[in-house]
């Protein structure tokens, strides 16, 4: 009998709203999910909140280092100001793994204005910091946490960028497991557009007084979706 390989997903800095939403979606789909934080007690508290939503005790909260050690795939969901420090601290432990970088280089207070780092994007910056031993894949930047934590279908697609096609395909499976439609958007250089779009969407939310604006790929038959 063929069985799906059960992966352990470690969400670093996962105590924020985006990390909590992704943890909920993936745990609901059957993945083993660990929420990481610099403060293990905080991670345990957020894990308990997700478990309450699921009505099951399946998500665990641990320190970031322990989460990296146990995870098959790591997911980074931190504010941009914490991006470099956490990557530098966990660089050695991340070697040999896929890192899904959800970070957007937002610069308060003007978060609706696009600001990109010298590397080109947060994902490219992560790849520079971690080196070739880690496959960095950018994804989930344009999905509001309000959609992730809800039970309804999400009318928003996910663009996935990274230098390794195999790594992109694995992340596309995570997108599908989260109940979303994913698209292979090519190499990591393209993350600059995806990350920048987040600021545009924030501006649209503010201007039109709406919540959770997103993007959809149109004009393509369903059978060609990634």
Domain CATH for 116? 3.40.50.720
- Residue 206 belongs to a domain: yes
pLDDT at 189: 98
pLDDT at 81: 97
Question: Which residues, 6+ apart, have CB-to-CB distance to 159 below 8 Å?
Answer: 139, 142, 182, 183, 185, 190, 194, 215
- Residue 2 belongs to a domain: no
pLDDT at 70: 97
- Residue 150 belongs to a domain: yes
- Residue 1 belongs to a domain: no
Domain that holds residue 118: 8-224
Q: Calculate the average pLDDT of the chain.
A: 94
Cα-based distances in Å from 180 to 108, 214, 216? 29, 12, 11
pLDDT at 152: 79
Low-confidence ranges of the chain (pLDDT < 70): 1-5, 222-226
pLDDT at 155: 86
pLDDT at 182: 97
Whole-angstrom distance, CA of residue 21 vs CA of residue 148: 5
pLDDT at 225: 56
Question: Which residues, 6+ apart, have CB-to-CB distance to 10 below 8 Å?
Answer: 34, 36, 67, 68, 70, 71, 73, 74, 75
pLDDT at 5: 66
Number of domains making up the chain: 1
pLDDT at 151: 78
The pTM assigned to this predicted structure is: 0.95
Whole-angstrom distance, CA of residue 18 vs CA of residue 26: 12
- Residue 210 belongs to a domain: yes
- Residue 81 belongs to a domain: yes
pLDDT at 21: 97
């Amino acid at each position: 009998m063929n069985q799906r390989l059960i992966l352990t997903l470690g969400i670093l800095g996962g105590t924020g709203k985006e990390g909590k939403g992704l943890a909920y979606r993936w745990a609901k789909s059957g993945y083993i999910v660990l929420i990481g934080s610099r403060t293990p007690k905080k991670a345990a508290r957020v894990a308990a909140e997700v478990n309450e939503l699921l009505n099951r005790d399946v998500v665990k909260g641990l320190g970031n280092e322990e989460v990296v050690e146990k995870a098959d795939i790591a997911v980074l969901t931190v504010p941009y100001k914490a991006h470099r420090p956490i990557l530098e601290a966990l660089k050695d432990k991340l070697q040999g793994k896929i890192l899904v970088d959800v970070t957007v280089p937002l610069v308060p207070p003007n978060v609706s204005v696009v600001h990109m780092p010298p590397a080109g994007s947060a994902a490219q910056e992560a790849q520079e910091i971690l080196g070739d031993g880690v496959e960095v894949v950018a994804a989930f930047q344009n999905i509001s946490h309000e959609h992730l934590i809800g039970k309804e279908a999400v009318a928003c697609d996910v663009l996935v960028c990274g230098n390794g096609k195999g790594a992109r395909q694995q992340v596309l499976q995570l997108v599908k497991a989260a109940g979303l439609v994913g698209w292979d958007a090519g190499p990591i250089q393209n993350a600059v557009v995806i990350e920048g779009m987040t600021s545009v969407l924030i501006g649209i939310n503010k201007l039109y007084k709406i919540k959770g604006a997103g993007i959809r790929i149109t004009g393509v038959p369903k059978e060609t979706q990634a």
